[in-house]
Amino acid sequence: MLTVEAVQYRSIAKFPDCARQGGRQAAAAVGEMLGVEIARATPTIAPEQISFNMCVSTIMDLLFATGWLKWPDIVEAASRFTDKPPENFTASYECAGWGFALEYAKRRFLPGSHIVITVADLNVLDFSFWRGNPNWGNSGFGIATVVFKVPEDGRFPLIARVAQSSYGMAEFCVDLRKWLETSESGLANVPFLPSGMAEIYTHFLKSECLMPNLHGQYGHCFGSDTWVSYITHAKSGRLDAGRIYTATSASLRGYWSITDLTFSDDCRFEFTA
Protein backbone atom coordinates (compact mmCIF):
# COMPACT_ATOMS: atom_id res chain seq x y z
CA MET A 1 0.00 0.00 0.00
CA LEU A 2 0.99 3.65 -0.13
CA THR A 3 3.40 5.05 2.45
CA VAL A 4 3.13 8.73 3.35
CA GLU A 5 6.57 10.34 3.67
CA ALA A 6 5.43 13.92 4.21
CA VAL A 7 2.12 15.58 5.02
CA GLN A 8 1.89 19.27 5.74
CA TYR A 9 -0.78 21.95 5.82
CA ARG A 10 -0.39 25.68 5.48
CA SER A 11 -3.40 27.60 6.74
CA ILE A 12 -4.13 30.70 4.65
CA ALA A 13 -7.12 32.40 6.23
CA LYS A 14 -6.81 35.50 4.04
CA PHE A 15 -5.42 35.59 0.52
CA PRO A 16 -2.93 38.41 -0.20
CA ASP A 17 -4.39 41.70 -1.44
CA CYS A 18 -2.54 41.30 -4.75
CA ALA A 19 -5.61 39.44 -6.04
CA ARG A 20 -7.29 42.83 -6.44
CA GLN A 21 -4.71 43.74 -9.07
CA GLY A 22 -5.81 40.99 -11.45
CA GLY A 23 -5.60 37.35 -12.39
CA ARG A 24 -1.92 37.29 -13.31
CA GLN A 25 -0.92 38.74 -9.96
CA ALA A 26 -3.16 36.25 -8.16
CA ALA A 27 -1.72 33.39 -10.23
CA ALA A 28 1.79 34.46 -9.26
CA ALA A 29 0.82 34.35 -5.57
CA VAL A 30 -0.86 30.94 -5.89
CA GLY A 31 2.13 29.60 -7.79
CA GLU A 32 4.56 30.85 -5.16
CA MET A 33 2.53 29.21 -2.39
CA LEU A 34 2.39 25.89 -4.22
CA GLY A 35 6.07 26.01 -5.13
CA VAL A 36 7.20 26.82 -1.60
CA GLU A 37 5.04 24.07 -0.08
CA ILE A 38 6.22 21.41 -2.54
CA ALA A 39 9.85 22.41 -2.01
CA ARG A 40 9.41 22.08 1.77
CA ALA A 41 7.79 18.67 1.43
CA THR A 42 10.31 17.16 -1.00
CA PRO A 43 13.81 18.38 0.02
CA THR A 44 15.52 15.05 -0.71
CA ILE A 45 13.42 13.87 -3.67
CA ALA A 46 14.69 14.49 -7.20
CA PRO A 47 12.20 15.45 -9.93
CA GLU A 48 12.82 12.19 -11.79
CA GLN A 49 11.73 10.24 -8.69
CA ILE A 50 8.23 11.73 -8.93
CA SER A 51 6.01 9.96 -11.45
CA PHE A 52 2.83 11.93 -10.71
CA ASN A 53 2.43 15.48 -9.42
CA MET A 54 -1.01 17.08 -9.32
CA CYS A 55 -2.96 19.88 -7.65
CA VAL A 56 -6.64 19.45 -6.73
CA SER A 57 -9.23 21.84 -5.32
CA THR A 58 -12.86 22.22 -4.36
CA ILE A 59 -13.45 25.96 -4.33
CA MET A 60 -11.21 27.37 -7.07
CA ASP A 61 -12.99 25.99 -10.14
CA LEU A 62 -14.87 29.20 -11.03
CA LEU A 63 -11.66 31.22 -11.27
CA PHE A 64 -10.29 28.82 -13.87
CA ALA A 65 -13.59 28.30 -15.70
CA THR A 66 -13.89 32.04 -16.35
CA GLY A 67 -10.26 32.30 -17.46
CA TRP A 68 -9.42 34.75 -14.68
CA LEU A 69 -6.81 32.29 -13.41
CA LYS A 70 -4.70 30.40 -15.95
CA TRP A 71 -2.97 27.20 -14.92
CA PRO A 72 0.18 27.80 -17.05
CA ASP A 73 0.71 31.10 -15.19
CA ILE A 74 0.57 29.27 -11.87
CA VAL A 75 2.99 26.56 -13.01
CA GLU A 76 5.39 29.22 -14.28
CA ALA A 77 5.29 30.99 -10.92
CA ALA A 78 5.66 27.74 -8.95
CA SER A 79 8.73 26.83 -11.02
CA ARG A 80 10.59 29.79 -9.52
CA PHE A 81 10.38 28.12 -6.10
CA THR A 82 10.65 24.41 -6.90
CA ASP A 83 11.97 22.18 -9.67
CA LYS A 84 8.94 19.94 -9.05
CA PRO A 85 5.91 22.13 -9.90
CA PRO A 86 2.51 20.42 -10.16
CA GLU A 87 1.82 19.25 -13.69
CA ASN A 88 -1.98 19.30 -13.74
CA PHE A 89 -5.00 20.67 -11.91
CA THR A 90 -8.59 19.56 -11.35
CA ALA A 91 -11.51 20.73 -9.24
CA SER A 92 -13.91 18.21 -10.76
CA TYR A 93 -14.19 15.93 -7.74
CA GLU A 94 -14.30 18.54 -5.00
CA CYS A 95 -13.22 17.33 -1.55
CA ALA A 96 -12.50 13.83 -2.86
CA GLY A 97 -10.14 15.17 -5.52
CA TRP A 98 -6.97 13.73 -4.02
CA GLY A 99 -8.45 10.23 -4.18
CA PHE A 100 -9.52 10.59 -7.79
CA ALA A 101 -6.03 11.92 -8.54
CA LEU A 102 -4.57 8.75 -7.01
CA GLU A 103 -6.99 6.67 -9.09
CA TYR A 104 -5.71 8.46 -12.20
CA ALA A 105 -2.12 8.03 -11.03
CA LYS A 106 -2.57 4.26 -10.67
CA ARG A 107 -2.60 4.02 -14.45
CA ARG A 108 0.53 6.10 -14.91
CA PHE A 109 2.94 5.90 -11.99
CA LEU A 110 6.13 3.87 -11.79
CA PRO A 111 6.39 1.27 -9.00
CA GLY A 112 8.70 2.51 -6.25
CA SER A 113 8.34 6.14 -7.33
CA HIS A 114 6.75 9.08 -5.51
CA ILE A 115 3.40 10.77 -5.96
CA VAL A 116 2.94 14.39 -4.88
CA ILE A 117 -0.55 15.81 -4.44
CA THR A 118 -1.34 19.34 -3.33
CA VAL A 119 -4.83 20.20 -2.13
CA ALA A 120 -5.33 23.93 -2.62
CA ASP A 121 -8.47 25.64 -1.39
CA LEU A 122 -7.80 29.36 -1.35
CA ASN A 123 -10.55 31.97 -1.18
CA VAL A 124 -8.69 34.17 -3.63
CA LEU A 125 -11.46 36.75 -4.12
CA ASP A 126 -12.91 36.36 -0.61
CA PHE A 127 -16.31 35.09 -1.76
CA SER A 128 -18.72 35.10 1.20
CA PHE A 129 -20.22 31.80 0.01
CA TRP A 130 -16.94 30.02 0.71
CA ARG A 131 -16.32 31.66 4.10
CA GLY A 132 -19.19 29.74 5.62
CA ASN A 133 -22.28 27.97 4.44
CA PRO A 134 -25.21 26.16 6.08
CA ASN A 135 -24.17 23.04 4.17
CA TRP A 136 -20.84 22.68 5.96
CA GLY A 137 -20.53 25.48 8.53
CA ASN A 138 -17.40 27.63 8.76
CA SER A 139 -14.60 27.02 6.27
CA GLY A 140 -10.86 26.66 6.64
CA PHE A 141 -8.59 27.69 3.76
CA GLY A 142 -5.09 26.55 2.93
CA ILE A 143 -2.83 24.12 1.09
CA ALA A 144 -2.15 20.51 2.03
CA THR A 145 0.86 18.81 0.47
CA VAL A 146 1.17 15.04 0.62
CA VAL A 147 4.10 12.92 -0.57
CA PHE A 148 3.33 9.25 -1.16
CA LYS A 149 5.80 6.43 -1.83
CA VAL A 150 4.41 3.83 -4.21
CA PRO A 151 5.21 0.23 -3.19
CA GLU A 152 7.64 -1.71 -5.35
CA ASP A 153 4.86 -4.00 -6.56
CA GLY A 154 2.84 -0.94 -7.60
CA ARG A 155 -0.30 -2.12 -5.81
CA PHE A 156 -2.42 -0.21 -3.30
CA PRO A 157 -6.11 -0.37 -2.33
CA LEU A 158 -8.29 2.55 -3.36
CA ILE A 159 -11.86 3.40 -4.23
CA ALA A 160 -12.98 6.66 -5.82
CA ARG A 161 -16.71 6.67 -6.36
CA VAL A 162 -19.77 8.74 -7.23
CA ALA A 163 -23.10 8.47 -5.43
CA GLN A 164 -25.93 6.62 -7.13
CA SER A 165 -28.63 8.53 -5.24
CA SER A 166 -29.24 11.89 -3.57
CA TYR A 167 -27.97 10.41 -0.28
CA GLY A 168 -24.28 10.64 -1.08
CA MET A 169 -23.00 10.95 2.49
CA ALA A 170 -25.00 7.91 3.55
CA GLU A 171 -23.59 5.93 0.62
CA PHE A 172 -20.09 7.05 1.61
CA CYS A 173 -20.64 5.89 5.20
CA VAL A 174 -21.92 2.50 4.05
CA ASP A 175 -18.91 2.13 1.75
CA LEU A 176 -16.55 3.06 4.59
CA ARG A 177 -18.24 0.58 6.93
CA LYS A 178 -17.75 -2.21 4.39
CA TRP A 179 -14.14 -1.14 3.88
CA LEU A 180 -13.35 -1.22 7.59
CA GLU A 181 -14.90 -4.69 7.93
CA THR A 182 -12.13 -6.15 5.75
CA SER A 183 -9.28 -3.67 6.26
CA GLU A 184 -6.46 -4.21 8.74
CA SER A 185 -6.80 -0.54 9.67
CA GLY A 186 -9.71 -0.25 12.05
CA LEU A 187 -9.35 3.55 12.25
CA ALA A 188 -10.43 6.18 9.72
CA ASN A 189 -10.54 9.95 9.57
CA VAL A 190 -13.83 11.68 8.79
CA PRO A 191 -14.62 14.89 6.87
CA PHE A 192 -14.99 17.86 9.22
CA LEU A 193 -18.69 18.75 9.52
CA PRO A 194 -20.86 20.60 12.07
CA SER A 195 -21.94 18.37 14.95
CA GLY A 196 -25.52 18.00 13.74
CA MET A 197 -24.43 16.82 10.31
CA ALA A 198 -21.65 14.63 11.72
CA GLU A 199 -24.22 12.47 13.51
CA ILE A 200 -24.48 10.52 10.27
CA TYR A 201 -21.06 9.01 11.01
CA THR A 202 -22.10 7.29 14.23
CA HIS A 203 -25.42 6.27 12.69
CA PHE A 204 -23.57 4.06 10.21
CA LEU A 205 -20.18 3.50 11.83
CA LYS A 206 -18.75 2.41 15.17
CA SER A 207 -17.41 5.44 17.02
CA GLU A 208 -14.24 3.57 18.06
CA CYS A 209 -13.34 3.25 14.37
CA LEU A 210 -13.42 7.00 13.79
CA MET A 211 -10.88 9.72 14.42
CA PRO A 212 -12.23 12.98 15.91
CA ASN A 213 -14.37 15.34 13.85
CA LEU A 214 -12.29 18.52 14.16
CA HIS A 215 -14.77 20.94 12.62
CA GLY A 216 -14.97 22.98 15.82
CA GLN A 217 -11.21 23.51 15.75
CA TYR A 218 -10.51 24.05 12.05
CA GLY A 219 -13.83 24.46 10.25
CA HIS A 220 -14.42 22.48 7.06
CA CYS A 221 -11.11 22.43 5.17
CA PHE A 222 -12.51 20.66 2.10
CA GLY A 223 -10.11 18.03 0.71
CA SER A 224 -7.51 18.94 3.32
CA ASP A 225 -9.68 17.64 6.19
CA THR A 226 -8.02 14.26 5.73
CA TRP A 227 -4.49 15.54 6.10
CA VAL A 228 -5.20 18.05 8.86
CA SER A 229 -6.74 15.15 10.77
CA TYR A 230 -3.60 13.02 10.47
CA ILE A 231 -1.26 15.90 11.25
CA THR A 232 -3.26 16.64 14.41
CA HIS A 233 -3.28 12.94 15.32
CA ALA A 234 0.50 12.79 14.94
CA LYS A 235 1.17 16.01 16.83
CA SER A 236 -0.87 14.69 19.76
CA GLY A 237 1.32 11.58 19.90
CA ARG A 238 -1.42 9.17 18.89
CA LEU A 239 -0.15 8.15 15.45
CA ASP A 240 1.94 4.99 15.18
CA ALA A 241 4.41 4.77 12.31
CA GLY A 242 3.95 1.57 10.38
CA ARG A 243 0.34 1.09 11.48
CA ILE A 244 -2.29 0.92 8.75
CA TYR A 245 -4.80 3.77 8.67
CA THR A 246 -7.78 4.47 6.44
CA ALA A 247 -7.79 7.87 4.73
CA THR A 248 -11.14 9.14 3.52
CA SER A 249 -12.69 12.19 1.95
CA ALA A 250 -16.23 12.91 0.76
CA SER A 251 -18.02 15.81 -0.88
CA LEU A 252 -21.62 16.79 -0.25
CA ARG A 253 -22.30 16.43 -3.97
CA GLY A 254 -21.56 12.74 -3.84
CA TYR A 255 -17.89 12.04 -4.55
CA TRP A 256 -15.77 10.07 -2.11
CA SER A 257 -12.40 8.39 -1.81
CA ILE A 258 -11.08 5.73 0.55
CA THR A 259 -7.62 4.19 0.76
CA ASP A 260 -5.43 2.42 3.29
CA LEU A 261 -1.95 3.75 3.94
CA THR A 262 0.92 3.83 6.38
CA PHE A 263 3.26 6.59 7.53
CA SER A 264 7.02 6.21 7.33
CA ASP A 265 9.11 6.26 10.51
CA ASP A 266 10.53 9.66 9.54
CA CYS A 267 7.33 11.08 8.05
CA ARG A 268 7.28 14.88 8.09
CA PHE A 269 4.14 16.29 9.79
CA GLU A 270 3.75 20.06 9.70
CA PHE A 271 0.96 22.55 10.35
CA THR A 272 1.78 26.17 9.53
CA ALA A 273 -0.61 28.95 10.48
Per-residue pLDDT of 126-142, as tens digits, reads 999 999 999 899 999 99
Listing DSSP states for 113-143 in one string gives -EEEEEEEE--TT--HHHHEETTTEEB--EE
Are residues 206 and 138 part of one domain?
no
Are residues 143 and 10 part of one domain?
yes
pLDDT of residue 98: 99
pLDDT of residue 232: 98
CA–CA gap between residue 212 and residue 44 (Å, rounded): 32
Are residues 232 and 190 part of one domain?
yes
CA–CA gap between residue 111 and residue 104 (Å, rounded): 14
Are residues 196 and 111 part of one domain?
no
Are residues 162 and 136 part of one domain?
no
Mean pLDDT of 178-199: 97
Tell how far CA 137 is from the center of its chain.
19
Residue 273 lies in a domain: no
Q: Per-residue pLDDT tens for 26-37?
A: 999 999 999 999
Pick from 94, 264, 116: which is nearest to 191 by CA?
Answer: 94
Are residues 118 and 83 part of one domain?
yes
Question: What is the number of domains present in the chain?
Answer: 2
Q: Per-residue pLDDT tens for 223-249?
A: 999 999 999 999 999 999 889 999 999
User: Which residues span the domain enclosing 21?
Assistant: 2-149
